[in-house]
Amino acid sequence: MRIYLPAGLDALVQLRDGQSISLPAVIPASDDELDEFDALTAAGEQGDAVIAADVAAAETPVNLDRVASFHLDADGSGDLAWYAPQELDEVIELLRNSASAS
Q: Is the dihedral of CA 39, 40, 45, 48 positive or negative?
A: positive
The distance of Cα 18 from the centroid of its chain, to the nearest Å, equals 16
Q: pLDDT category, 101, cuts 50, 70, 90?
A: low
Is residue 28 within 8 Å of residue 36, measured between CB atoms? yes
Condensed to tens digits (0 to 9), the pLDDT of residues 36-80 reads 999 999 999 999 999 999 999 989 999 999 999 999 998 889 899
> What predicted TM-score, i.e. pTM, was given to this entire model?
0.95
Question: What DSSP state is assigned to residue 64?
Answer: G
Tell me the pLDDT of the chain averaged across its residues.
95
Q: pLDDT category, 99, cuts 50, 70, 90?
A: confident
Q: pLDDT category, 93, cuts 50, 70, 90?
A: very high
The predicted pLDDT at position 26 comes to 97
Q: What does the domain layout of the chain look like in residue ranges?
A: 2-93
The predicted pLDDT at position 102 comes to 60
